[in-house]
Amino acid sequence: MKAVPTSGALGAEIQGVDLASDLSDETVLEIRKALLEHGVVFFRDQHLDAEAHKRLARRFGEIFIHPFFVAGDDPEIMVIHRKPDDTSIVGFEWHSDTTMAPEPPMGSILYAVKAPPVGGDTLFANQYVAYERLSDGMKDMLDGLRAVHSDRRVAGPDSGRNAGRTTKARDDSDWCETMTLHPVVRTHPETGGKCLYVNHSYTVGFENMTEGESKPLLDWLMEWGHRPEFTCRFRWHDGSVAFWDNRCTKHLAVNDVVGHERIMRRVQIAGDKPV
């Protein structure tokens, strides 16, 4: 197995592994080490059916059931389908997955069932570096500060996110908002490193402040977290896999596919309470 870095900030392409069959304890340990070192790891030319995909995820933890996307036949799997005439997509803004949950997923494994010939790349941003590059004064100010995370921007009858896209979030009247407080700077439970932990999709304000009061600093932190020098970019082909550490990275799906279908399959891995 060989890990080839994809940028100076984060990401590595792992070569020499068949994820459908080579799941020895040694291989799983090496993949986990690479994930912790690089934040996101990529694989090419894989052949994963749904069961193999879930089997791979379970080697790293329990499967996390997504709380508000409309599931198909299998709630453990989320299919992200873009049809040629779709005008909107899932994940078009910088985010970490499902952070309004009390225990957000530790990671996600995304598999390209059908990639477009061009476009539809995914960008990732290193939140260790985003925190490390802050001034000492900013770090002191953020120490102990907590943020409010909510899913009202991405689900529910008032979000408007389902318009123009095939993959749907719940927007029925029985949907209920989930809100949780998380630290603005979290400590990674495996590496001990500190990470900036706010994102566009879910973070709506700071604890004990109005959203208006929170907005200037929160907007700055979220934009800071994906400066170009903190990022890498992954181009998809059929059979490509991205496995990202949701605790220390953000990501964004580029909405630039024109006239082509894109089908991705995602399985998320359960995590723990951010501290």
Task: Name the residues annotated as catalytic.
Answer: 95, 97, 251, 266
Which run of H or of E encompasses 215? helix 211-224
Write out the two tokens for 13.
């392409």
Pairing of strands 40-43, 12-15: parallel
Cα 104 from Cα 225, distance rounded (Å): 19
Query: Diameter of the chain by CA atoms?
Result: 52
Amino acid at 127: Q
Amino acid at 118: V
Cα 266 from Cα 76, distance rounded (Å): 9
Write out the two tokens for 191.
């590496």
